[in-house]
Amino acid sequence: MVSTKSLVDEMRQVQLAIDLIMLGARLQVLETETDLSRARLIRLFKEVRGKSPPKGMLPFSTDWFITWLPNIHSSLFYAYYQRLRIQGCVRMEAFVKGYRLYAEQVAAGDEEAEPVLGLTRAWTLIRFFENDLLQLSSCTRCRGRFVAHAHTPAHGYVCGICQPPSRAGKTRQRREAEAKRA
């Protein structure tokens, strides 16, 4: 006979998997964060998304999070995540809520904008912090806290908002969109 506690736990696991799938999680994330079998996760993925989960490796470099625009987005997401953890949310609850807040904030700025930080990269970011590969550094100008490589001296750090690179924001997509509006 199945206990009520194990049934409730399994329902929580399924709901977490569904939430993650809806937000764009890859199968490897689901396998790591839930106790559900791979076969069950694949079936769930097909039910929720209407297609098989994508294949391929997960991102594995900390460097992506340090580049200009990804750094700003990563820092915003991580601030939400940290605040939720401080308020008592458990790790994955804080992760899902924090990612939703981040996605809502991006959409509030531009309804057509897609988050720079996908769910899989956000999950990888959390893992990098947990494994002491990344840290937060305070900008000496604005006092904001931004994602940086771990063990990097923080004195004299200036963020990408206060000191953007010379070609910041001049992507091909943006130029094409501006040309269409004109």
Which residue ranges make up the annotated binding site for Zn(2+)?
Answer: 139, 142, 159, 162
Report the C-alpha gap between 124 and 61 in whole angstroms: 9
Q: Enumerate the β-bridge partners of residue 136.
A: 147
Tokens representing residue 54 in the block:
């994508």
Report the C-alpha gap between 27 and 58 in whole angstroms: 10
3-state secondary structure 157-179: CCCCCCCCCCCCCCCHHHHHHHH
Which class for 11: exposed (0-12), middle (13-18), buried (19 or more C-beta within 10 A)? Answer: exposed
Tokens representing residue 168 in the block:
């910041």
Binding residues: 139, 142, 159, 162
What DSSP state is assigned to residue 133?
A: S
